[in-house]
Amino acid sequence: MTQQPAPHSQDQLHFDQIIEEDSRIEPRDWMPDGYRRTLTRQISQHAHSEIIGMQPEANWISRAPSLKRKAILMAKVQDEAGHGLYLYSAAETLGTSRDELVEQLLSGQAKYSSIFNYPARTWADIGAIGWLVDGAAICNQVPLCRCSYGPYARAMVRICKEESFHQRQGWEILYELSHGTPEQKQMAQEAINRFYGPALQMFGPPDGDSPHSQQSMAWNIKRFSNDELRQRFVDMIVPQAEALGLHFEDPDLKWNEERGHYDFGELDWAEFRSVIQGNGPCNSQRMQRRRQAHEDGAWVREAAAAYAQKCADAVQVDSRPGALNTSMEERTPAHV
């Protein structure tokens, strides 16, 4: 993390003015340490979630029911890898290297979204993940397109476009299943039963238990509270479930005419905390797999670093007066 000198009051005033005008902070602008720390934590956790989130779905690529389904799922999992890369790049602009961010994940110091510690047991779970998990991600992330930190906001614009495809493909998987045989419809219903609660928990703890939210809202990082976003999500998915011919097993879920929103039942926050603390059904499996993949990929990182060095050396040779052509010829194989 970059250490900053004590702020000049002019710097702080400039920062405050940018926030006041609802404009963007860019990497070279002065920013308070707390703002930098909060964003580094949030963006890197988001990046880790994209990368870990590839696992439950990647496990289904070889078992997807048709070649077309495999291709679609493979493209989605690749999108998630891309989201991780945009986000690591955005986090790096705040002064922490990608190596350090990845190390924080591998050592268990950094967290990722608790939803990815649940298994995808059936093909219908892939539908539920796309519809509900990517759907919750969209609700969370669309307001982040207006986040005050420029690189994060711009990454989110691109990510949200892809997430809407992901949600659509999940909904479509469930639509086919819910209009198939009774067994298929049952499988779709069971998948929704499994993912409803954990998807609603993706918005984080209730507002009263979310101490950092207020500061994040004052900095224009966060635009809506956890509970506001959760409500927005519930209001969105209830009619979509009806269109699927499925329902949520929540006895308290009903339209509240007075509020103009759906009421819903209390979520299992003890389970949420337990999963975050590492006791979910797949926490150790996810981390073990990520560490193994990191080790297996060491040779790729080494090769990329060696190639980058070779290119940098070549540029140095090129920069000598009159040496450009010689260097180009040296790099062109004789048989070409």
Which of 80/125 has CB closer to Fe ion?
Answer: 80
Which of 143/206 has CB closer to Fe ion?
Answer: 143
Q: How far is the CB of 159 from Fe ion (least distance, A)?
A: 6
Q: How far is the CB of 129 from Fe ion (least distance, A)?
A: 9
Which of 92/134 has CB closer to Fe ion?
Answer: 134
Site for Fe ion in 196-235 (CB under 5 A): none
Q: How far is the CB of 54 from Fe ion (least distance, A)?
A: 9
Which of 18/102 has CB closer to Fe ion?
Answer: 102
CA 48 – CA 147 distance, rounded (Å): 19
Which of 140/189 has CB closer to Fe ion?
Answer: 140
Three-state SS annotation for the chain: CCCCCCCCHHHHHHHHHHHHCCCCECCCCCCCHHHHHHHHHHHHHHHHHHHHCHHHHHCCCCCCCCHHHHHHHHHHHHHHHHHHHHHHHHHHCCCCCHHHHHHHHHCCCCCCCHHHHCCCCCHHHHHHHHHHHHHHHHHHHCHHHHCCEHHHHHHHHHHHHHHHHHHHHHHHHHHHHHCCCHHHHHHHHHHHHHHHHHHHHCCCCCHHHCCCHHHHHHCCCCCCCHHHHHHHHHHHHHHHHHHHCCCCCCCCCEEECCCCEEECCCCCHHHHHHHHHHHCCCHHHHHHHHHHHHHHCHHHHHHHHHHHHHHHHHHHHHCCCCCHHHHHHHHCCCCC
Which of 80/92 has CB closer to Fe ion?
Answer: 80
83, 194, 222, 230: residue in contact with Fe ion (rule CB under 5 A): 83
Burial class (CB in 10 A: 0-12, 13-18, 19+), 237: buried
Which of 112/262 has CB closer to Fe ion?
Answer: 112
Choose the stretch contacting Fe ion; rule: CB under 5 A; options: 56-64, 98-106, 133-141, 270-278: 133-141
- Contact indicator for 112, 105 with CB cutoff of 8 Å: yes
Choose the stretch contacting Fe ion; rule: CB under 5 A; options: 131-139, 169-177, 219-227, 312-320: 131-139
Count interface residues toward Fe ion (CB under 5 A): 6
Q: Encoding tokens for residue 267?
A: 């979520």
CA 62 – CA 219 distance, rounded (Å): 44
Which of 51/246 has CB closer to Fe ion?
Answer: 51
- When asked if residue 46 is in the footprint of Fe ion (CB under 5 A), the reply is no
80, 92, 125, 250: residue in contact with Fe ion (rule CB under 5 A): 80
Choose the stretch contacting Fe ion; rule: CB under 5 A; options: 22-30, 101-109, 155-163, 212-220: 155-163
116, 134, 200, 262: residue in contact with Fe ion (rule CB under 5 A): 134
Q: How far is the CB of 163 from Fe ion (least distance, A)?
A: 5
Which of 50/92 has CB closer to Fe ion?
Answer: 50
CA 129 – CA 166 distance, rounded (Å): 9
Q: How far is the CB of 137 from Fe ion (least distance, A)?
A: 6
166, 185, 222, 290: residue in contact with Fe ion (rule CB under 5 A): 166
Q: How far is the CB of 85 from Fe ion (least distance, A)?
A: 11
Choose the stretch contacting Fe ion; rule: CB under 5 A; options: 35-43, 166-174, 267-275, 292-300: 166-174
Footprint on this chain of Fe ion (rule: CB under 5 A): 50, 80, 83, 134, 163, 166
